Structure 1
Amino acid sequence: MKFVDEAFIDIAAGDGGNGCVSFRHEKYKEFGGPNGGDGGRGGHVFAVADVNLNTLIDFRYARRHEAGRGQHGMGSDMFGAAGDDITLKMPVGTIISDAETGEVLFELLTAGEKIMIAKGGDGGFGNLRFKSAINRAPRQKTPGWPGVRRSLKLELKVLADVGLLGMPNAGKSTFIAAVSNARPKIADYPFTTLHPNLGVVRVGPEQSFVVADIPGLIEGASEGAGLGHQFLRHLQRTRLLLHIVDIAPFDEGVDPVAQARAIVAELKKYDPALHAKPRWLVLNKLDMVPAEERAARVKDFVRRLRWKGPVFEISALTREGCEPLVQAIYQHVHAEQRAAAGDEPVDPRFADQA
């Protein structure tokens, strides 16, 4: 299935039915009185967060969504039936905004969450409503009220605790496949990953966190170069960023430090708030470095990058060093979750930034 994380739709709640003017017609009751009923309300438009969806592709090809109109009122005190509601299924993490003003209207953050995004119009009053002691044969009625109509922008931001940053071929897909249940495409050429991948990392019974892998960034990404800029929004809700660096690039002319600096610069250009998130350095592909050279190469890299935050050395291919990293991530995410709930502060050991 093609991944689509942005779509524009038009929705229309149903109009209310019109009220009815009618009088009771029965034998021997010449002045039976009014009996025109109210119109039914128009159908509402709902949005529900469906955990089984992970893309907005359905809304790319079906842009118009209308609820049913309320039935008109009828005689014999019969009110019109309400119009049929419609429910639009959307992925968890969908942001619903006004397409014209850009104002955020709703957010679907919890699986099964259901919200009304367009209210149906109320039904009009029949002449039965206007009967009084001085107006015993009213001929007034009101039309149904129109339903709400909107042009909406749908934007999907995947919900993940940890986001992966890095150049193409840094080993992000290999890492997420090694530690989680995600099975992304892995190959030895750049831009293998074309859309975000989510993986659940299970640390123990009822202990887990979610990792998001996006296409690799390149220099100029904030201006639209490459693919990764299209999906940086998916990292905005994460609690921690892992900056994965290929410590042993195949091309000897490539400087990993320069690549790492380029990623940080692009992140800052795109969104300063995203740049300010906790970020850890993960030096990958240590299996490609002779054992006797690893310590010196890692020390030189950290010195040249002037990195002061946490550093982890791993080989995603052989899973060397992955377990300590996963445990540290869980402790950090768990601490932040508890801090957000007001239970305890975040562990200061993991609050440092580059």
Structure 2
Amino acid sequence: MKITKNNCTGCGACMISCPTGCISMRENKLSEIVPYINLEKCIACKKCVNTCPQNKQLSYSTPYKCYVAWSKKSDDRIKSASGGIATVMARYQLENNNYFYGCDYDCNINLKHFLVNSEKDISKIRGSKYSQSNSYDIYLDVKEKLKDGKVVFVGTPCQVAGLKSIIGKSNENLITVDLVCHGTPPNEYLKKHIHNLNIKKIDKILFRGEYDQKLTILENENIIYQKDKTKDTYFSAFYANMISRNSCYDCKYAKGSRISDITIADFWGLKKLNNIDKMSNRPSLILINTDRGLKYFNEIKQYLIYEKRDVQEGIKGNGRLNNPPGKNIKAKIFQFLYPICGLDKSINFTNIIFNIYIHIKKLRARLQNLYSK
């Protein structure tokens, strides 16, 4: 598989690997972060090409254990997107003087991966982040921290692949945890959307968790904006698979075999529990993909309420564990309009055009049925 403008995931491994620093990560016309090469500095060593996960035959693991789980702490369950598993991992890493990397938005609405250093930092990683984070700025820091202790990195599968490409050979101190991903819109889309809402200052952005399925923006712990996923322009477009980056529609990681040691997600399709009471309506799925992942799960399970489930139950209920979404007609219309109209207008125009398309399609079907009689 050769890298093209459509299947680049923006993981940034090429930029980090470049010996001359001739690669920079910049926005294309769809605001996707992609590599740009300064040909005057390029020495044609092809290290970027060889490092890119999209150009490699990657090593995937078949999940062999599956759990439904929740944190034992009620606050973790309330404020997390599902059962608070990443929160448990982060706290365990801190308590054992090890390292955990997650992501959060800064005051300028830039979503970035960072090293968790405190309980306050743990609160930042909770909840789903429905835009693409910058993970490549911490790859070399992770590589350095692996010399001192155990590192847990949580990110999308393509970010895990990017990190592993930079780390190189397998490192027993690295635990990779991938999030089953619905798709990642360019972070610039969210920034544009919030700018269009005329919101000047924010302290927190939430999509899931305490205010579940609502885009919630807080300043000084006060809600200054909140709309349901069906009412907010950005959130509704995200769930319609309209605004993901191109690589997401044909994602090579959207399948049952996994790139990481552990996979976490919402446990969609969970059937009746056998030995425990359901802790909330947002149970976590944990898939154990490697022996290293199982060893780590055994270390943290004392902090979890969990039950073993059939692996196929966990995979079957989650669409992105079976196949990528494919690019629907809404995404095609949006991508045509976005460079011309910007974000919110493109989303609104796309919905109008799509509704007209559906009405015409229905009318055509009725006419064909009428003439066939």
TM over 0.5: no
More relative contact order in 1 or in 2 (CA 8 Å, sep 6+)? 2
- Scaled by the length of structure 2, what TM-score is found? 0.27
- Scaled by the length of structure 1, what TM-score is found? 0.28
Structure 1 or 2: more helix by fraction: 2
